[in-house]
Structures are given as C-alpha cells and as structure tokens.
Chain A
Amino acid sequence: MDPSVPILDLAAARPRDDADQAMAIEVDFRVGGGELALVDARHSLRPAWLADLCCGLLPLSGGSVRFLGHDWSAMPQDYAAALRGRIGRVFQSGNWIDFMDVATNVLLSQLHHTRDDPIDLRERAIALSCAFGCRVSRWSAPAISLRAIWHGRLAFAPFSAIPS
C-alpha cells in the first residue's frame, strides 16, 4: 500500500441521521500509518457513532469517508465487509457471542473473511495475546464461561491479519 495514503480519511463527512439532530455534524480528520488519534467524546453515544462512521456503517448526506484509500460508499458490499473484518474494533458491549467458543469469538472475523489455516490464526492470536499480557488457555471453552474475565479485552485478533 502507498504509505502516503492515510489509513483513515474523513473529509467533511456528514452522516444522514434524521432522528438525532445532535449527531448531525460534519467530521473532518485523517489518520496516517503509525499515528494515534485520541478522540475526547463527551456524549455517551458519540464513541460508537464515530466508530460506525469510520467503519462506513452510516450513510452520508455529504463528504466522504475513506479507509486505506477506498471510499466506503463506492465499494462493493462484499469488499466493504472484508475490509471491515480487518479493523480491530473494541465494542463497549456485544464483543462476545455466548453460544460460540472462545476461539471462534476471538477469530470470528478472520475465520469468516479469510481462508487462512485456523491453527495459524490461533497461533498468531496467542502470540498477540501474550504480547498484550492476556494468556488464553481455554480456547474451546464456551465463551460465556470466560465472559466476565475477558469482556472487551480480546480485540487483538483482527490485527493478526494486517502484515507487520
């Protein structure tokens, strides 16, 4: 990928949100490779709203949102879905699907969007989890059994798909 292309580029992006006028604002920022953007969101709904905007989940009434140089609104649906699978997003709630096991929960987007060997995926996730100080030993346990411990912490797996 061209290093001059920003990872995320929001240019006067204005979501089409008729229901909530408080959210009807223009967002304008860009994040390049290796940069960190810290957003101070004071409205309780703003973090999820902004993340949805960055992931191309909100239809726009103006402006554009580009991820890795691609405009979300101009992308085919399957391509956009595969690209979203590479984003390591931590949700305030809804990270875990209780009836799936831990491994499937951690690797779900990778298992869905790639054809990589599950063992390789798991090894990469284990290496990353160790690097973050989270040792996962019960991969085949039902997710509900570890929910309280790991809630919101296992969001590193999607990063394993991005080449270093």
Chain B
Amino acid sequence: MLARIGRAVRSHTRFVLLLASLGAGVVLDGIRPTTWRRTVRGEFRRALRQAVGGGLSTTLVTAALIGLVMVSQALYWLGQAGQEGLIGPILVTVLVREVAPVLVGLIVMGRSGVVIVSEIGGLQFGGQVHALAAQGLDPFLLLVLPRAAALAIACFTLGIVFVVAALMTGFIAGSLVGAVHTPIGSFLERVLLAMHAEDFAVFPAKMIVIGLLVALTACLTGLTASAQDDAARLLPRGFVRGVVAILLASIALSLGA
C-alpha cells in the first residue's frame, strides 16, 4: 500500500520536475541563435503550419458560437437592464481573460497536442529517438523545442483570432436582434477602454504559457512512453495532462494578475 502511494507520488513529481526542466531548456536554448539550425527551423515551420492551419477553422467556429451565445446575450441583457456601460468590463473579464485562453488552449491541445503525442510516442516506440541521438541530433532540439515555440506562437495567434471573431459575431448577432444601437467602432472602443494595463500583459502571457504547456506535456508524454504503452493509453494520458496544465496555468495567471 505504502509502496503504491509512493510510486504514484514519485511518478507525478517526476513528471512535473521534467516538465519544469524542459520549460527552462526551451527558454534558455530558444534564445540562443545557434540552436536554430535549418533542421530545427524546418520542424518549427512544419509545427507552426500544422498548429495554426489545423486549428484556425475550429477556432473561428468556436469563436462564432461563443459570440452568438455569450457576447450577443451580454449585449442584449445589459441593454435591457440599462447597463450598457458594463459591456466592456464584462467582455474583457469573461471573454478575453478567462474564456478565450482556456478554449483556445483546448483547441490547440485537440488539434496539435494529440498529434505531437502520437508522433513523438511513435518515434519513441520505433527507436527513432535513439537513432537521432546516435546521429548526434539532440531529440530535445529537433523534436521538443520547435514544437514548443510553434505552439506558443500558434496559441497566441489563435487567441487573438478567437477574441476578434467572437466580438464581431456577437456584435452582428446583437445588431440583428436589435440589442445593439451603437456603431461597431464605438463597441470595439468600449471593449478596448475597459482593458487595464495588466490585461494587456495577462492575455498574451496566458496564451503563450498555455501553448508552451500543451506542447511540453505532449512531448513529455510521448518521450516517456514505455514499451507497455500503446496509442489507446498514450493519447488519453497526453490529453488529460494537457487539459490539467491548461486549467492550472489559466487559474494561476488569473490569480497572479
């Protein structure tokens, strides 16, 4: 019993420590120009294309649904209550700071994180990770770092797209039901004016940290796969770890702001 508890604690602690060391490695190696050799740049381009291209349509559809459900409803009911002045602060607090980072993180996890778990887990099973090391190619530089950088940038990009698309869809839907009586410029200005200085820091920080964590949990899940793990066990494990990391990062950065 004691051994079983200890094994689980050690396993989870090990994963968190590995995640922290990988994160530090990505930051430290990422700023060294010599890291970005053409093979690393090639992997970065491929991962970025896959993450942004693969997640764009899903992000737009999700943002449109959120715009219809949340933004237009907020516009309608605040208008009914005569509280139009609260539209900006409510949308910034709920949509920009909380909903967008978590939903975009989940989209990136589903569209790219799972692919990374599958790719790197396959390389680990197939012996390619060892073969890379034997050819003098550091698997961390070639596989982990470009994916982490690509997903951080992709997450930030998709986050901006998500917020803009949700606001626009909500405004259009609100106009159609007669809940909005202001021009689009005035509506967007209200939202912008409701943003405080820390909002301009928290939103990008959340998007970048969530993108990094999605990539790192996925890479680490793939790299630490054992011989007993198959795709049916590896993919759900990677997904759950990614979701937990997204939620924890979002909560931690919200509380810290």
Contacts of B130 in A (CB 8 A): 94
- B71-107: CB near A (< 8 Å → 1, else 0) gives 0000000000000000000000000000000000000
Binds B, one of A5-13, A32-40, A82-90, A127-135: A82-90
- Tally chain B residues at the interface, Cβ within 8 Å: 22
B115-157: CB near A (< 8 Å → 1, else 0) gives 0000100110011111101111110001000000000000000
Residue A65, interface by CB 8 Å? no
Given A91-B131, A97-B123, answer yes or no on A104-B42 (Cβ-Cβ < 8 Å).
Answer: yes
- CB < 8 Å: which of B37, B131, B137 contacts A94? B131
B137–A112 contact, CB under 8 A? yes
A154 at the interface (CB under 8 A from B): no
Name, among B119, B127, B129, B134, the residue most crowded by chain A CB atoms within 10 Å (CB to CB). Answer: B134
B4 CB within 8 Å of chain A: no
Q: A108-B39, A112-B142 are in contact. Are A93 and B127 (CB under 8 A)?
A: yes
Known contacts A108-B39, A112-B37; A51/B136 CB under 8 A: no
Set of chain B residues within 8 Å of A94, measured between Cβ atoms: 123, 126-131
- Residue of A81, A93, A99, A111 near B136 (CB, 8 A) is A81
- Interface size on A (CB < 8 Å)? 29
Q: List, in ascending order, chain A residues with CB within 8 A of B135's CB.
A: 84-85, 87, 89, 108-109, 158
B38 within 8 A of A: yes
CA distance A94 to B128 in the complex (A): 4
From 130 to 150 in chain A, residues with beta carbon under 8 angstroms from any chain B beta carbon are none
Q: Report which of B46, B123, B126, B136 forms a contact with A113, defined as CB distance below 8 A.
A: B136
Contact A91 B127 (CB under 8 A): yes
A81 close to B138 (CB less than 8 A):
yes
- Distance of B236 from chain A, by nearest CB (Å): 22
A57 within 8 A of B: yes
CA distance A147 to B122 in the complex (A): 15
Q: B37 — which chain A residues lie within 8 A by C-beta?
A: 111-112
> Chain A's nearest CB lies how many Å from the CB of B59?
23
Chain B 18-51 near chain A by CB (<8 Å), digits 1 or 0: 0000000000000000000111101000100000
Tell whether, in the assembled complex, residue B134 and residue A51 are in contact, meaning their CB atoms are under 8 Å apart. Answer: yes
Of the candidates A55, A82, A83, A111, the one whose C-beta lies within 8 Å of that of B39 is A111
User: Which of the residues B39, B134, B138 comes within 8 Å of A57, measured between beta carbons?
Assistant: B134
Pick from A80, A99, A108: contact of B137, CB below 8 A. A108
Contact A111 B134 (CB under 8 A): no
Question: Which A residues are in CB contact (< 8 Å) with B129?
Answer: 94
| A104 to B41 alpha-carbon distance, docked (Å) | 13
Asked if A17 lies at the interface with its beta carbon under 8 angstroms from chain B, I say no
A55 nearest CB across to chain B (Å): 5
A51 to B134, CA, bound (A): 9
> Is residue A28 within 8 Å, beta carbon to beta carbon, of the partner chain?
no
Cβ of B137 and Cβ of A109 under 8 Å apart?
A: yes
User: Which residues in A have their C-beta under 8 angstroms from that of B142?
Assistant: 112
> What residues of chain B lie closer than 8 Å to A87, measured between beta carbons?
134-135
- Inter-chain contact B128/A96, CB cutoff 8 Å: yes
Q: 8 Å CB contacts to B: which residues of A60-78?
A: none
Given contacts A97-B128, A109-B136, A112-B38, 15 further A-B contacts (CB under 8 A): A51-B134, A52-B134, A80-B136, A81-B136, A82-B136, A83-B136, A87-B134, A91-B127, A91-B131, A93-B126, A94-B127, A99-B46, A108-B39, A108-B137, A112-B39
A: which residues have CB within 8 A of B?
51-52, 55, 57, 80-85, 87, 89, 91-99, 104, 108-109, 111-113, 118, 158
Closest 8 CB pairs of A and B: A94-B127, A84-B136, A81-B136, A94-B131, A85-B136, A94-B128, A112-B39, A109-B135
Binding site for A on B (CB under 8 A): 37-40, 42, 46, 119, 122-123, 126-131, 133-138, 142
